[in-house]
């Protein structure tokens, strides 16, 4: 199957977390992580453009072939959900226009893939990130969540490859 470079995305309008890992079989290796932080003031279009530009930079710098994106979890008002949906849409558009294979995962699926239970809290997820990717030093909870999405995507990609074989 070879090495698969995976980009994980935790979409957000204020902070979009990203994490890049290499997966070869069941072996995972941390590559990089961070956040894209668009300006908090200004027109929505400019904020979305900043997200797109930041994500394009990450893709250009690290060259992933595949990406996992966390699905939107609606827990707040309709306005917040709409804004998060716009940010997520920009992420999906940039990933698709870059030719990446994209997987979309609910937060519970990400947590189950990383921790073993879909009801894990952030501390448990971060502890497993440190265990699975010892070199990882995510600079924010958003970056850690993005690494979890990348690990989830790696797990699902391996399962898909075994089924196809």
Tokens of 112: 């189950």
Helix (H, G, I), strand (E, B) or coil at 102: strand
- Distance, in Å, from the CA atom of 26 to the CA atom of 23, rounded to the nearest integer, reads 7
Q: Which residue has the tokens 């226009």?
A: 97
Respond yes or no: is residue 10 known to be catalytic. yes
Q: Which residue has the tokens 């995972």?
A: 28
99 Rama sector, left if φ>0, alpha if ψ -120 to 50, beta otherwise: left
DSSP H helices, the chain, are: 44-62, 78-97, 107-114, 122-132, 141-164
Is 37 marked within a binding site? no
Catalytic residue among 70, 76, 121, 145: 70
Respond yes or no: is residue 70 known to be catalytic. yes
Is 10 marked within a binding site? yes
Cβ atoms 6, 21 nearer than 8 A: yes
Cβ atoms 111, 125 nearer than 8 A: yes
Catalytic residue among 71, 139, 142, 145: 142
Nearest to 68 by CA among 159, 147, 158, 162: 147
Active site residues: 10, 70, 142
């Amino acid at each position: 199957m070879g090495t698969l470079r995976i980009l994980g995305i935790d979409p957000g309008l204020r902070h979009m977390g990203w994490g890049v890992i290499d997966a070869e079989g069941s072996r995972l290796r941390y590559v990089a992580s961070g956040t894209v932080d668009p300006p908090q003031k200004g027109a929505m279009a400019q904020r979305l453009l900043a997200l797109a530009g930041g994500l394009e930079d990450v893709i250009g710098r690290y060259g992933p072939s595949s990406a996992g994106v966390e699905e939107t979890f609606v827990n707040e008002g309709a306005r917040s959900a709409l804004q998060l949906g716009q940010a997520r849409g920009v992420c999906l558009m940039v990933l698709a226009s870059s030719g990446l294979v994209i997987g979309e995962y609910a937060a519970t699926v990400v947590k189950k893939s990383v921790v073993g239970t879909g009801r894990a809290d952030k501390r448990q997820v971060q502890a497993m990130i440190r265990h699975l990717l010892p070199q990882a030093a995510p600079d924010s909870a958003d970056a850690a969540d993005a690494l979890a999405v990348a690990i989830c995507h790696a797990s699902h990609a391996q399962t898909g490859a075994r089924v196809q074989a």
